[in-house]
Amino acid sequence: MLKSFLDIFRVPELQKRVLFTLGIIIAYRIGATIPIPGVNAEAVKSLFAANANGLLGFLDMFSGGALNRMSIFSMGIMPYINASIILSLVQGAHVIPYLDRLAKEGEQGRKKITQITRYGTLILGTIQSFGLTMAISKLPTPSGMPIVVNPSTSWIVMTVFTLVTGTALIMWLGEQVTERGIGNGISLIIFAGIIERLPSAIIGVVRLIQMDQLSILSAMFLVVLVLAVLLAVVWVETAQRKIPIHYAKRMVGRKMYGGQSSFLPIKVDQSGVIAVIFSVSILSAPLTIAQFAPNFTLFGLPVAEKILNWFNHGSLIYSLVYAALVIFFCYFYNAISFNPKDIAENMKKSGGFVPGIRPGDPTSNYIQKVLERITLGGALFVAMIAVLPDYMRTMLDAPFFFGGTSLLIVVGVSLDTIGQIESHLIMRHYEGFMKEGRIKGRWFNVR
């Protein structure tokens, strides 16, 4: 495997892509440390220290630590994700014929949809930046110090403009990585923000062991638990259901074609990290509003207080809603990205068929049935991993954030990025990272 990693730097194009990606991530991390003028850094730290395991800590994870510094990248990439969710829901519901036409126009249509997503990002980014700016100017802190020293109108305008510009810059950086680097740029930016916490978490564990606040046995058990969950996530993320396909022999001119066997791979977790990110974005919206407007009432009812009590991070209602959203988006992603009718039609045109299944609609129905069955198992597993580690962290009193959401994102992005690197190596006649098989979907064939 070490030789395969060294082969990366023997391929000029791949070397440029990897170095370009690393450069973009470094630029993002530098931007995440640049604070917004006029913000009291000590007051912000005290606020996030008091809410490290709550909503603010959860949102801070997706901003890569930029939110607890109130940096120019405090909004992170969430407006872009929210805009993508809204556009995907509209496309899936087929309520706008124009978007349906764009989806069928190939590359040109995809570019126009991307452009619409960008405009939506700027609109949502402006609204969310204004809400965040007004909230931090009035939000009380445990230390009693104001977060904003002088919340004047000019400061509000400057802060909103800075946050929106930061979001637009992050979106541009992510697109540059996707086009000219390795991996999905938006996912890698979220990945970098999560990984940034790992060194400090390890140092925190070591310090607790040195101060006898955490026994070595408990620390070892925690490490084994994390590795076990990690292996389970990798197992599901790489698992596939292979539908066998046979091709009938046919004469084209004087040549015989067909007579071969292949298979249609369907991943157990087809959506990857998309379902998790979408669920977090949807669930964080009402919680963010309630967090920043705790005194909001409707018809005399304390709506914000009820939302914070019911959807408190780690509560039963929060976990149930979160799991339901993950399962929904797993199926929703499959519905908009995987079309069994088109697959069955293409198989029929090329002379392919599933043994024992008639071509056409029966094949489409069979593929749809298989997809629904394996998606249920994958969705339930992803929902369980997203929810259960929070309870395990509470029961074990883990000294660092051990969340299933972050684990799913890290594993999914890592597998996708390594898979792309391996594809570049094999395409240029180099060996992959393993002597046999490929990184993605190599280990298990789910029946």
pLDDT tens-digit map of 237-274: 888 888 888 877 666 666 665 567 788 888 888 877 77
- pLDDT (0 to 100) of residue 176: 92
Confidence bin at 84 (pLDDT 50/70/90): confident
pLDDT at 107 over 90: no
Q: Which residue has the tokens 């101060």?
A: 211
Euclidean distance between CA atoms 261 and 149, whole angstroms? 70
Average pLDDT over residues 276-283: 78
Q: Dihedral through CA 53, CA 54, CA 56, CA 61, nearest 10? A: 50
pLDDT at 297 over 90: no
Average pLDDT over residues 27-37: 88
What's the predicted TM-score (pTM) here? 0.76
The sign of the torsion formed by the CA atoms of 143, 145, 147, 153 equals positive
- pLDDT (0 to 100) of residue 93: 66
Task: Find, among 175, 366, 378, 427, the residue nearest to 272 by Cα.
Answer: 378
Q: Is residue 265 classed as helix, strand or coil in its secondary structure?
A: strand
Would you list the DSSP string of 20-56? HHHHHHHHHHHHTT-BPTTB-HHHHHHHHHHTTTSHH
- pLDDT (0 to 100) of residue 161: 93
pLDDT at 56 over 80: no
- pLDDT (0 to 100) of residue 433: 56
Instruction: Tell me the pairing of strands 250-252 and 261-267.
Output: unpaired
Residue 436's identity, in one-letter code, is E
Confidence bin at 446 (pLDDT 50/70/90): very low
Instruction: Tell me the pairing of strands 240-247 and 261-267.
Output: antiparallel
- pLDDT (0 to 100) of residue 435: 54
Domain boundaries, the chain: 11-196
Average pLDDT over residues 325-349: 85
Question: Considering just the CA atoms, what is the radius of gyration of the chain in Å?
Answer: 24
pLDDT tens string 127-157: 888 888 887 777 777 767 778 877 888 888 9
- Express as a percent the part of the chain with pLDDT over 90: 8
The mean pLDDT of the chain is 78
Question: In sequence order, what are the beta bridge partners of 243?
Answer: 264
Q: Is residue 436 classed as helix, strand or coil in its secondary structure?
A: coil
pLDDT greater at residue 222 or residue 33: 33
Confidence bin at 442 (pLDDT 50/70/90): very low
Q: Is residue 180 classed as helix, strand or coil in its secondary structure?
A: helix
Residue 68's identity, in one-letter code, is N
Residues in CB range of 139: below 8 A, 6 or more apart: 47, 147, 292
- pLDDT (0 to 100) of residue 32: 87
pLDDT at 165 over 90: yes
- pLDDT (0 to 100) of residue 198: 78
pLDDT greater at residue 437 or residue 347: 347
Q: Do residues 341 and 363 lie in contact, with contact meaning Cβ atoms separated by under 8 Å?
A: no
pLDDT tens string 371-399: 988 989 889 988 888 887 666 666 655 55
**What are the strands of the beta sheet with 240-247, ordered from one edge?**
261-267, 240-247, 352-353
Lowest-confidence segment of 11-15, 194-198, 227-231, 438-442 by average pLDDT: 438-442
pLDDT greater at residue 348 or residue 435: 348
pLDDT greater at residue 28 or residue 434: 28
- pLDDT (0 to 100) of residue 444: 35
Average pLDDT over residues 285-304: 66
pLDDT tens string 178-220: 888 888 888 888 888 888 777 777 787 788 788 877 778 877 8
Q: What is the CATH number of domain 11-196?
A: 1.10.3370.10
Which helix H or strand E contains 283, and what residues bound it? helix 274-292
pLDDT greater at residue 182 or residue 5: 182
- pLDDT (0 to 100) of residue 434: 57
The sign of the torsion formed by the CA atoms of 378, 383, 389, 391 equals negative
Residue 40's identity, in one-letter code, is N
- pLDDT (0 to 100) of residue 119: 92
- pLDDT (0 to 100) of residue 91: 76
- pLDDT (0 to 100) of residue 299: 65
- pLDDT (0 to 100) of residue 443: 34
Residue 104, token pair as written in the block: 């069928």
- pLDDT (0 to 100) of residue 259: 63
pLDDT tens string 407-431: 777 888 888 888 888 877 777 665 5
Average pLDDT over residues 18-45: 87
Q: Dihedral through CA 158, CA 161, CA 162, CA 167, nearest 10? A: 160
